[in-house]
Chain A
Amino acid sequence: MEWLSQLGRSGLRFFERLGRGNLFLFYVLLGSFSLLGRGRLLLQQMYSVGVLSMLIITVAGLFVGMVLGLQGYNTLVDFGSEESLGVMVALSLVQELGPVMTAVLFAARAGTSLTAEIGLMKTTEQLSGMEMMAVDPLRRVIAPRFWAGFISLPLLAGIFSAVGVFGGYFVGVGLLGVDDGAFWSQIQNRVDFYDDVLNGIIKSIVFGFVAAWIALFEGYDTVPTSEGVSRATTRTVVHTSLAVLGLDFVLTALMFD
């Protein structure tokens, strides 16, 4: 009996939080209109959320592409079709690894810092203070960060994929001797913008939305103590990663339909 009521309680807590999360999102979106006249706020956040994440994304993209080149070559060479290496690398990156890896890395690099920043602002009463100055923190603080995350993630995913292809090229063509021209022409012939690239872009847009939402909500909903902030930061990474992987499956299933 005890575990049943326990289950009911955590169920209720879950749905209550989900409700608050949705309400939060609603108000953030509502408050976003005031951003129109204040592009500078958005640009500042794009810098700290997006530009500062570029290094980790670039390096990770390069390594992932190199691994793909190596693995792909070993598999393809058995079938004598190593000229298709470029296609394999490009498709894996554009459709799957680019959006997913970028979202997970984004959660770890930018999501955590957003959560911690907002959580600490709440803990030190900066958000309360703003409210008492008649400034809505959802508009002034949260909305620019939300849009910055939402816009940055697809761009970062694009960089990840592009750099990854060069990583694959470096290993495949540079080290393993795949034909240079075949590598690129195969990509050009077989990667379709609408079927392949667009799907990847859609995925990364969805992931950007979810990653920014989770990170900011966790920060805003923090228990205002140092422990609360540290927990919220952890939850950001865990929840974003799970949500991204789950959504990736759903989206992939829908897209191949």
Chain B
Amino acid sequence: MNTDNHNMDDVLVHVRGLSFQRGERMIFDDIDLDIMRGKVTVIMGPSGTGKTTLLKLIGGQLRPNQGTVEVDNINVHRLSRSDLFELRKRMGMLFQTGALLTDINVFDNVAFPIREHTQLPEALVRDLVLMKLEAVGLRGARELMPSELSGGMARRVALARAIALDPMMIMYDEPFTGQDPISMGVLVQLIDKLNDALGLTSVIVSHDVVEASAIADFIYVISNGKVVGKGTPEELQASDSAWVQQFINAQPDGPVPFHYPATDYLEDLLAGVNE
């Protein structure tokens, strides 16, 4: 390996000058991010800042207006469709909603990527699927249809599916929401274990400051299209940035607005009366 470039090689996802707009609204305004290989990186930020959007930009489902996203030194948005698909085989993504295929059962959902991308004999597929389901504690639920699962269970099945092909990186969109304390603990451990045992790189989008901090190696706090804080969990705890403090300590008031951008409240209310 090229030792001069040692630092670059540690970075799996390299985001530079990324800007993204939805209509008039600027979702990201020139942000830089580095996601280190083999580490757990957590992205926090208030609802609606664009965390899901960021994951879709990294996965190549959305195109940035400006800037570059490189995954494993490959510019995601320069790839042809088939090369992009090759890259995606090495990236797992856990959708916020689970995004399970509703016409097939849990077992077949987890088997889906294996069957699509490999020619393994069915007996081996079965063992692989059962191992993944065992890891998320749902081996017994293999016959259930997605409509028979709770939100939290659906997300765990989606996790089993995301790790089915042993990717190099997994992006988790809100993995902890809807989990009871026990399965939450299991999930936190699982993500941590997967990361260490398989040498995975994990990107977690989350509001759950406590859980996320417990496994994070590095945290980015995003708000209003900017990175407003970054560092290890300890560094962020000690940060004197008002943004970071507000978010980490869950204060309703502060620089992070609770409201979607709007006109003056009083004016808005009176507008109806004046008509």
Measured CB to CB, the residues of A under 8 A from B are 120-121, 124-126, 128-136, 140
Contact indicator B88/A132 (Cβ below 8 Å): yes
What residues on A are CB-neighbors of B59 within 8 Å? 132
Bound Cα distance from A135 to B82, whole angstroms: 10
What residues on B are CB-neighbors of A125 within 8 Å? 95, 97, 99
| B22: min CB distance to chain A, Å | 14
| B92: min CB distance to chain A, Å | 8
B116 within 8 A of partner (CB)? yes
Encoded as 1 (CB less than 8 Å from any A CB) or 0, chain B from 37 to 58 comes to 0000000000000000000100
Interface size for B (C-beta < 8 A) is 22
What residues on B are CB-neighbors of A130 within 8 Å? 101
21 A-B contact pairs sorted by A residue (CB < 8 Å): A120-B102, A121-B102, A128-B56, A128-B61, A128-B95, A128-B99, A129-B93, A129-B101, A132-B59, A132-B61, A132-B95, A133-B88, A133-B113, A133-B116, A134-B86, A134-B113, A135-B112, A135-B113, A135-B117, A136-B81, A136-B85
Most chain A CB inside 10 Å of its own CB: which residue of B86, B91, B97: B97
Contact indicator A129/B99 (Cβ below 8 Å): yes
A141 to B, closest residue via Cβ = B101
Query: Which one of B93, B100, B112 lies within 8 Å of A132 (CB-CB)?
Result: B93
B89 within 8 A of partner (CB)? yes
A133 to B, closest residue via Cβ = B113
| A162: min CB distance to chain B, Å | 33
Q: Secondary structure at chain A's binding surface: helix, strand, loop or mixed? A: helix
Q: For window 231-274 of chain B, which residues contact chain A by CB distance below 8 Å?
A: none
Query: Which one of B81, B91, B97 lies within 8 Å of A124 (CB-CB)?
Result: B97
Q: For window 146-205 of chain B, which residues contact chain A by CB distance below 8 Å?
A: 158, 161
What residues on B are CB-neighbors of A132 within 8 Å? 59, 61, 88, 91, 93, 95
9 further interface pairs, Cβ-Cβ under 8 Å (given A129-B101, A130-B101, A132-B59): A120-B102, A126-B101, A128-B61, A129-B99, A129-B100, A132-B93, A133-B116, A135-B112, A135-B116
| B85: min CB distance to chain A, Å | 4
Encoded as 1 (CB less than 8 Å from any A CB) or 0, chain B from 87 to 124 comes to 01101010101011110000000001100110000000
- Nearest 10 CB-CB pairs, A to B? A129-B99, A134-B88, A125-B99, A134-B85, A132-B93, A134-B89, A133-B113, A135-B116, A125-B95, A132-B59
Query: Which one of A121, A128, A134 lies within 8 Å of B117 (CB-CB)?
Result: A134
Bound Cα distance from A230 to B224, whole angstroms: 34
Bound Cα distance from A181 to B241, whole angstroms: 96
Most chain A CB inside 10 Å of its own CB: which residue of B61, B86, B99, B101: B99
B86 to A, closest residue via Cβ = A134
Bound Cα distance from A120 to B147, whole angstroms: 14
Contact indicator B116/A140 (Cβ below 8 Å): yes
What residues on A are CB-neighbors of B161 within 8 Å? 133
What residues on B are CB-neighbors of A126 within 8 Å? 99-102
| A29: min CB distance to chain B, Å | 15
What residues on B are CB-neighbors of A121 within 8 Å? 101-102
